[in-house]
């Protein structure tokens, strides 16, 4: 690694967790996984946006987001038509904190809706391939735009070297740390504007989901879930904001 880039990496690296598909076989009830159907606790209601059920993306053990002995899972739901770019997307993504004991759902819900306000149609949420997830400790790096205030002397060669370092960190799921943007790196500004909660530097990356296997967001894009630090401290996941970016 270039010595200058190495110094930048060492100074700005921030801890995070990265997750990938497990080789250990089927996911146990209440374990971390992508796809399939959620393991639900008592009183569960499948989230709906408009007349349609949101699609279930993943459930991840709460201990990865909260204190080490926190029970339960965080469950992520999304409507694929909403990218989080404006206030009209409010309600098209949800995070639920589910607590044991769990029951594994076996059938996805269906709902009737009107197409063009005239024809009745049946809608079922997308079901992606179920795979257990393993998480490991790693670190993230800020984008070059976040490093601009530090006055580093960037050029095309340094840009390329630094980008290789960020890309090599890997992991299809990332908890915490800096987002690895596909486009502009101002998503916390979107969170502040759409939720009317500031300041923007109090928003934290809750989860980043990269395109992988049968999960493809646009043209190789990513989903970024943010939460305000005050809400995370209170375990309040009702005001998360999600952004999608793709090529």
CATH at residue 61: 2.30.320.10
**Summary mean pLDDT of the chain:** 94
Asked if pLDDT for residue 33 goes beyond 70, the answer is yes
**What number is the average pLDDT over the span 191-210?**
97
Rounded to 5 degrees, what are φ and ψ at 123?
-115, 135
pLDDT of 26 reads: 87
Lowest mean pLDDT among 91-100, 115-124, 190-199, 227-236: 115-124
Asked if pLDDT for residue 203 goes beyond 90, the answer is yes
pLDDT of 118 reads: 67
> How many CB atoms neighbour CB 237 within 10 A?
19
Asked if pLDDT for residue 166 goes beyond 70, the answer is yes
**What number is the average pLDDT over the span 104-116?**
85
Task: Specify whether the CB–CB gap between 15 and 137 falls below 8 A.
Answer: yes
Asked if pLDDT for residue 93 goes beyond 70, the answer is yes
Residues 6+ apart with CB under 8 A from 49: 79, 82, 91, 92
**What number is the average pLDDT over the span 31-39?**
97
Angstrom distance (rounded) from CA 75 to CA 134: 16
Asked if pLDDT for residue 58 goes beyond 90, the answer is yes
> How many CB atoms neighbour CB 55 within 10 A?
18
Task: Specify whether the CB–CB gap between 182 and 246 falls below 8 A.
Answer: yes
**What number is the average pLDDT over the span 216-245?**
97
Task: Record the pTM.
Answer: 0.94
Domain of residue 169 covers 3-245
Give the tens place of pLDDT for each residue, 121-132: 888 999 999 999
Asked if pLDDT for residue 2 goes beyond 90, the answer is no
- Distance separating the N- and C-terminal Cα atoms of the chain: 28
What is the share, in percent, of the chain residues with pLDDT greater than 70? 98
pLDDT of 113 reads: 76
Confidence of residue 38 (pLDDT cuts 50, 70, 90): very high
Task: Specify whether the CB–CB gap between 122 and 57 falls below 8 A.
Answer: no
Give the relative orientation of helices 156-167 and 3-12 as an angle to the nearest 10 degrees: 50
Strands 103-104 and 241-245: unpaired
CA dihedral 88, 217, 164, 179 (to 10 degrees): 30
Q: How many domains are contained in the chain? A: 1
């Amino acid at each position: 690694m270039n010595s200058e880039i190495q110094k930048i990496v060492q100074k700005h690296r921030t801890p995070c967790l990265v997750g990938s598909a497990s080789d250990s076989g089927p996911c146990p009830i209440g374990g971390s996984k992508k796809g399939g159907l959620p393991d639900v606790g008592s009183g569960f209601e499948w989230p709906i946006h408009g007349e349609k059920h949101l699609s279930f993306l993943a459930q991840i053990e709460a201990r990865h987001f909260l204190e080490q002995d926190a029970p339960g899972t965080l469950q992520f739901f999304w409507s694929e038509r909403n990218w989080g770019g404006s206030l009209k997307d409010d309600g098209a993504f949800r995070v639920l904190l589910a607590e044991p004991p769990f029951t594994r759902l076996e059938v996805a819900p269906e709902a009737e809706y009107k197409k063009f306000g005239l024809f009745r149609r049946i809608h079922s949420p997308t079901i992606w391939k179920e795979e257990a997830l393993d998480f490991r400790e790693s670190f993230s790096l800020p984008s070059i735009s976040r490093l601009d205030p530090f006055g580093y002397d960037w050029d095309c060669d340094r840009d390329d070297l630094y980008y290789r370092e960020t890309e090599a960190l890997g992991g299809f799921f990332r908890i915490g740390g800096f987002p690895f943007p596909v486009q502009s790196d101002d998503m916390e500004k979107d969170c502040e504007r759409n939720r009317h909660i500031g300041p923007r530097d109090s928003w934290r990356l809750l989860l980043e989901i990269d395109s992988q296997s049968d999960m493809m967001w646009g043209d190789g894009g990513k989903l970024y879930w943010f939460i305000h630090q005050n809400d995370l401290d209170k375990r309040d996941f009702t005001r998360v904001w999600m952004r999608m970016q793709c090529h």
